Structure 1
Amino acid sequence: MRYIILGTAGHIDHGKSALVKALTGVDPDRLKEEKERGITIELGFADIHYSDGLCVGIVDVPGHERLVRNMLAGAGGIDIVLLVIAADEGVMPQSREHLAICNLLNIKSGIIVITKTDLVEDDWLELVKEEVRDFVKGTFLERAGIIGVSSKTGENIDVLKEKIHRIALQVSPKSTGGLFRLPIDRIFTLKGFGTVVTGTALSGSLSSDAQVEILPAGVKSKVRGLQSHGEPIEKAYA
């Protein structure tokens, strides 16, 4: 099975989490506060499994300006970005900020998704598409496709899934040689297991019981167990 990492990017309340749920059936907003406030605070995760064995892991990032640090944690290791822009609002401040971050991280592939198309007329949607085309000029998304979707009605969700599949197949595999490197995006503790870290491997491979060093603190530790996309594994590869 081949794994590709896809990340969302875009302004707060532009429908990123609703889009992930429409694509996967999984609500990435798992915290009580997220559900009460209707915004993403921590990173969310979900998967799309394709019949040819491809698995696209989705990292749903916060859109609020005060949560850019959390967005950066999730953006490391992304192969493909979904730039999400709401049809009823168009390009907004965090749309610009997130695209700039993706450029700095040297992300090469992406799709522009205009959400909430059920809220606007066709003429307005065309105006938003023109605004978006001007917005992405000179970036890695200049030649990216623009797909209008509605997470509420399901319009074009299957079209977007197929587009993700085609682009994912074109992503070059990461190197499994050299040192194992995994930027940490989450840390938490599970009773009976101890400290758990999550992230996206950038290079190398790692086995259970291996000795690791956590930088920059220089803390040395031992791997007690490994999981990939919710399944236990004996060895992890970039």
Structure 2
Amino acid sequence: MQLLVASVGGSGGDAAHFAHEFDDLISEFSKYLNAIGNNLSWMTGAILGGLGLIMLSMLGFLTGIVLIFGKMMLSLMLGLAPLMITLSLFDATKDYFHRWISTTVSYAFYPVVIAAMFSTVVGMANALLDELGDPESATNIGALVPFFVMVFLAKGFVATTPIIVRGLSGNFMLVAGPAVAAGAAGLTRGLAKQARARSGDLSGAELAGRAIVHTPAAARAAALSSGAQIARIAERARRLGH
């Protein structure tokens, strides 16, 4: 797992790195399982060894997916930043920028949640291994119950990491959404007030009347002349009809 995480960026070799910690944890679980299996019959030991191998492989798979996916997607979102900022300059493409912001905030929570959840898992597992003591003294299958419980708990903690991230990012957007909407509404009201100030707070009919008043005299005279000519033509047609 440490090599997989290192292949997508970062050294992955630090002892405090979570991939390294989970590698050590899975190794300790494997040693514990092998030690107990040696004290049981060959059939029981083989069955429990196979089940333990599948469970530990699933734990490593889930941990690797969460670590690699969070780092990969956050790097991708940051790489798209120049393009998305450019798209925010145009009204037709602003929605893409808003979605990018929401997605980036969501993936930015991954390191925080991973640090909290994985630290808890590693601490619980190490404490359990210390409490179980020497596995060589275990002579029955009941000694494996705490082991399987801890593996299931670790898988549950790792699997719920994306759910917690979605919840945190959703709450963040829920709080930020009304603030953004209020800011947009205030901007719209300000633009409307500026437009009314330029028009002198007049209604539509008043604006039309003012436009007529400010029409040049030559245009008004041409309009009146055309109206009088139309009236004379209509009167002549009426007399001819009689």
TM-score interval, smaller chain: under 0.3
Greater RCO between the two (CA within 8 Å, min separation 6)? Answer: 2
| Structure with higher helix content | 2
Larger Rg computed on CA atoms: 2
TM-score between the two structures when normalised by the length of structure 2: 0.21
TM-score between the two structures when normalised by the length of structure 1: 0.21
| Structure with higher strand content | 1
